[in-house]
């Protein structure tokens, strides 16, 4: 592999079985720092299962996941998040019982210190921390372009803005890696273009992205590296150009996709 | 000054002035009862409204607080202040131990588990007669003294309980507008997303459960020192359900819901005591159960977010429980 750079996430020989079904079969790949890596594949290829293993929602049957030098296999989702890996959800998981900015402030949880007792007694450090985190949250909202909606109730936001809100919440945690689960799903062309711009800008600021996506146009446009799954097996990986030229991939996925489109 | 603080101070002023304006021991005793329930509901609102976790067992903590302080102060001669703290510590410990397995459950299962816990504790109150006096009750609980000042009459006790209620409301309010409050509310909003930003859900569920147990315990202890006689029936599962009705009626998503729900409950049950005998001459307490059962159902259907939310809707002031209003922020980002 001719990619150079520091490895941030390593997926090593991950296998996941559900009863007799092998959803993910011996999949390995690396994610480098500052890279945008896409995981693609037809429905049922095992993308979501792989995603859930990396984020700790599912434990793999075998194999290891290493993040920033730490073995995170079998760790709980919140522990993995605390190490600096956050995510967004395909079916939006915005905190509908909060305002927009509170959603983002909640994202900053891992870098804050206030304990239950300190919060209840409102010791001076809490006030300072609150002010700092509110400013930080505002900056995150500015980055995704919805700062003007900061004090709206989150559930009143249209779908596209809720997706942006999830990204703002994810970056508020100051993570090293963000996983995006089908970020383009449900967005119109204009919203998709803006989201691509946001992601590219954030990458420029040093963030690393892994995303699962159906929208091939986006994948080809913004990915540095692509991993292709089919029936739980990795059938190819490489740059977008390499994926275009990969016959196995085209047969399994792209060909099919193009006849649909 | 924050709007929320202003409301709290106005409320405190009202509490302070009330006995000076209204000279009625009957009304004072009602307000004292409202105070006990407000304290319990304050903790429960944090648990149910903010963290979204139901409990049908808080009469148990109310009772543990009452019996611990009764036993230590009456039987062993402890200072009531110390025995109240001891009750809170014991309740906190029990909540922690019970919470670890219980909060692995959700929804109906959690409701049933906490209900079961309440029934077990109630049975303990009945059966451990050497400590609790069983169904005969526990007599002779001393009243509370602060130096030479004894909280023996209603006016004095009124100030004691409402001071505690106000402090606990302030504490809860501070929690809500902090990292911890957001973590709690995020659990209600979406556990998957809480996980994804690194919030240790179990830890926060336990913390808020312990906090709500401490509130209930202190309320129960103060109740014991107020009435000086307690009996297991004061802490049965029905009371837990009444707590639930109060929280739902008041509105679980506002800290004031605790006070409003408790007030509505106590005032309605006083009213029922007056009205029901006029209609049904030989009616007993069961009418109360029927009435509050109906009230709960009606509330859940027509005002699932309680009176405070309904009021905010009417006045067009509905927003999230935040005070982060644009007006207060000087237009940051606007």
pLDDT at B309: 74
Among B50, B193, B325, most A C-beta atoms within 10 A, so best to mutate, is B193
Q: Are residues A22 and A52 in the same domain?
A: yes
- Distance CA(A98)–CA(A41), nearest Å, equals 35
Q: What is the ipTM of this complex?
A: 0.90
Among A57, A78, A112, A156, most B C-beta atoms within 10 A, so best to mutate, is A78
Q: Are residues A27 and A17 in the same domain?
A: yes
Q: Of A156, A174, A192, which residue is a domain's last?
A: A174
- Note whether residue A31 is domain-resident: yes
Q: Of A118, A149, A174, which residue is a domain's last?
A: A174
A77 to chain B: closest CA residue: B195
- Note whether residue B273 is domain-resident: no
Instruction: Tell me the nearest-neighbour CA distance from A162 into chain B, angstroms.
Output: 13
CB B52 within 8 A of CB A98: no
Report the pLDDT averaged over residues A102-115.
Answer: 95
Number of domains in chain B: 1
- The separation between CA B50 and the C-alpha centre of its own chain, rounded to angstroms, equals 14
For chain A, give the mean pLDDT: 91
Buried b (16+ CB within 10 A) or exposed e, B238-252: bbbbbbbbbbbbbbb
- Note whether residue B270 is domain-resident: no
Strands A225-230 and A36-40: parallel
pLDDT at B44: 96
Q: What is the DSSP letter of B229?
A: -
Task: State pLDDT tens for residues A25-48.
Answer: 999 999 999 999 999 988 888 899
- Note whether residue A30 is domain-resident: yes
**Residue B295 CB-half CA count within 13 A:** 23
C-alpha distances out from residue A171 to A85, A102, A234, B199, B246, Å? 10, 14, 29, 15, 40
Report the pLDDT averaged over residues A177-182.
Answer: 94
Give helix then strand counts, H and E, for chain A. Answer: 11, 10
Beta carbons within 8 Å of B36's beta carbon, 6+ residues apart: B161, B219, B220, B222, B223, B226
- Note whether residue B54 is domain-resident: yes
- Distance CA(A40)–CA(A216), nearest Å, equals 9
Q: Are residues A107 and A117 in the same domain?
A: yes
Domain of residue A248, CATH code? 3.40.50.300
Dihedral angle over CA of B271, B272, B276, B282, nearest 10: -120
Q: Are residues A111 and A212 in the same domain?
A: no
Ranges under pLDDT 50 in chain B: 1, 318-334
3-state secondary structure of A233: strand
pLDDT at B255: 85
Q: Are residues A166 and A181 in the same domain?
A: no
- Note whether residue A253 is domain-resident: yes
Query: Could A169 and B193 be called an inter-chain contact, meaning their C-beta atoms sit closer than 8 Å?
Result: yes
Structure tokens at B119: 């029934």
Residue located via tokens 């606990």: B168
Q: Are residues A108 and A52 in the same domain?
A: no
Residue located via tokens 């077990």: B120
Beta carbons within 8 Å of B146's beta carbon, 6+ residues apart: none
pLDDT at A256: 53
- Distance CA(B165)–CA(B263), nearest Å, equals 13
Q: How many residues does chain B have?
A: 334
Closest CA to B137 of B212, B233, B203: B233
pLDDT at B8: 83
How many CB pairs lie under 8 A apart between chains A and B?
142
Q: Are residues A27 and A147 in the same domain?
A: no
Buried b (16+ CB within 10 A) or exposed e, A250-260: bebbbeeeeee
pLDDT at A146: 95
- Note whether residue A89 is domain-resident: no
Report the pLDDT averaged over residues A78-93.
Answer: 94
Q: Are residues A80 and A182 in the same domain?
A: yes
**By residue range, what is the domain housing residue B219?**
25-235
Phi/psi-derived region of residue B47, left when phi > 0, alpha when psi is between -120 and 50, beta in every other case:
alpha
Query: Could A89 and B192 be called an inter-chain contact, meaning their C-beta atoms sit closer than 8 Å?
Result: yes
Instruction: Tell me the nearest-neighbour CA distance from A104 into chain B, angstroms.
Output: 10
- Note whether residue B318 is domain-resident: no
Q: Write the burial class of residue B69 (CB in 10 Å: 0-12 exposed, 13-18 middle, 19+ buried).
A: buried
Q: What is the pTM of this model?
A: 0.90
List beta partners, residue A229.
A234
- How much of chain A exceeds pLDDT 90, in percent? 78
Report the pLDDT averaged over residues A106-110.
Answer: 96
- Distance CA(A238)–CA(A227), nearest Å, equals 7
pLDDT at B303: 80
Beta carbons within 8 Å of B148's beta carbon, 6+ residues apart: none
Structure tokens at B218: 């202190």
Can you list the positions of beta strands (E) in chain A? 7-18, 21-32, 36-40, 62-67, 70-71, 85-87, 177-181, 208-212, 225-230, 233-238
- Note whether residue B3 is domain-resident: no
Q: Are residues A140 and A191 in the same domain?
A: no
Nearest-CB residue to B326 (from A151, A154, A170): A151
Nearest-CB residue to A78 (from B177, B189, B201): B201
- Note whether residue B299 is domain-resident: no
Strands A177-181 and A62-67: unpaired
Q: Of A126, A149, A174, which residue is a domain's last?
A: A174
**By residue range, what is the domain housing residue A128?**
103-174
- Distance CA(B69)–CA(B63), nearest Å, equals 10
Report whether pLDDT(A1) > 50.
Answer: no
Q: Are residues A19 and A73 in the same domain?
A: yes
Lowest mean pLDDT segment, chosen from A164-173, A178-187, B46-55, B146-155: B146-155
Task: State pLDDT tens for residues A233-260.
Answer: 999 899 999 988 888 887 776 555 444 4
- Note whether residue B118 is domain-resident: yes
Q: Write the burial class of residue B24 (CB in 10 Å: 0-12 exposed, 13-18 middle, 19+ buried).
A: exposed
* Residues of chain A neighbouring B325 (CB-CB closer than 8 A): 151
Query: Could B333 and A86 be called an inter-chain contact, meaning their C-beta atoms sit closer than 8 Å?
Result: no
């Amino acid at each position: 592999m001719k990619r150079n750079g520091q490895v941030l996430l390593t997926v090593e020989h991950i296998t996941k079985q559900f009863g007799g079904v092998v959803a993910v079969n011996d999949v390995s790949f690396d994610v480098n720092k500052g890279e945008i890596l896409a995981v693609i594949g037809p429905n049922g290829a095992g993308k979501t299962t792989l995603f859930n293993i990396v984020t700790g929602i599912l434990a793999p049957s075998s194999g290891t996941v290493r993040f920033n030098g730490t073995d995170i296999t079998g760790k709980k989702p919140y522990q993995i998040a605390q190490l600096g890996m956050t995510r967004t959800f395909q079916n939006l998981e915005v905190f509908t019982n909060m305002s927009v900015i509170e959603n983002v402030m909640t994202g900053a949880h891992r870098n804050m210190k206030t304990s239950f007792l300190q919060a209840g007694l409102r010791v001076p450090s809490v006030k300072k921390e609150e002010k700092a985190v509110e400013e930080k949250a505002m900056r995150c909202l500015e980055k995704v372009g919805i700062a003007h909606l900061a004090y709206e109730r989150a559930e009143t936001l249209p779908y596209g803005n809720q997706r942006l809100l999830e990204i703002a919440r994810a970056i508020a945690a100051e993570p090293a890696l963000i996983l995006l689960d089908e970020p383009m799903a449900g967005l119109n062309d204009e919203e998709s273009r803006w989201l691509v711009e946001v992601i590219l800008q954030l990458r420029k600021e040093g963030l690393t992205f892994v995303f699962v996506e159906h929208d091939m146009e986006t994948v080809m446009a913004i990915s540095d590296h692509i991993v292709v799954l089919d029936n739980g097996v990795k059938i190819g990986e490489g740059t977008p150009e390499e994926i275009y030229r990969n016959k196995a991939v085209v047969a399994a996925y792209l060909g099919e996709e193009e006849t649909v489109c | 000054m924050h709007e929320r603080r202003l409301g709290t101070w106005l409320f405190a002023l009202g509490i302070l002035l009330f006995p000076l304006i209204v000279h009625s021991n009957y009304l004072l005793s009602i307000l004292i009862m409202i105070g006990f329930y407000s304290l319990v509901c304050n903790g429960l609102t944090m648990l149910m409204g903010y963290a979204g976790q139901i409990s049908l067992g808080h009469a148990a903590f109310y009772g543990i607080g009452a019996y611990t302080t009764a036993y230590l102060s009456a039987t062993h001669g402890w200072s009531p202040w110390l025995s109240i703290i001891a009750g809170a510590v014991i309740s906190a410990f029990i909540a922690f131990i019970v919470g670890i397995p219980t909060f692995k459950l959700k929804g109906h299962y959690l409701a049933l588990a906490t209900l079961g816990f309440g029934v077990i504790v109630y049975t303990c109150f009945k059966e451990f007669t050497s400590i609790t006096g069983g169904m005969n009750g526990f007599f002779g609980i001393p009243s509370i003294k602060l130096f030479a000042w004894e909280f023996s009459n209603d006016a004095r006790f009124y100030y004691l309980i409402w001071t505690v209620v106000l402090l606990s409301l302030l504490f809860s309010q501070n929690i809500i507008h902090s990292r911890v409050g957001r973590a709690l509310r995020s659990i209600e909003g979406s556990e998957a997303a809480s996980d994804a930003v690194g919030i240790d859900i179990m830890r926060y569920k336990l913390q808020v459960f312990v906090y709500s147990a401490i509130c209930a315990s202190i309320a129960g202890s103060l109740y014991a020192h107020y009435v000086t006689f307690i009996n297991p029936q004061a802490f049965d599962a029905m009371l837990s359900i009444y707590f639930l009705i109060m929280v739902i009626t008041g509105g679980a998503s506002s800290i004031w819901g605790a006070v409003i729900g408790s007030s509505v409950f106590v005032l309605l049950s006083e009213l029922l005591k007056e009205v029901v005998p006029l209609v049904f001459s030989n009616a007993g307490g069961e009418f109360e159960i029927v009435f509050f059962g109906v009230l709960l159902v009606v509330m859940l259907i027509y005002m699932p977010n309680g009176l405070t939310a309904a009021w905010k809707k009417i006045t067009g002031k509905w927003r999230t429980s935040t005070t982060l209003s644009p007006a207060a922020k000087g237009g940051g980002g606007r």
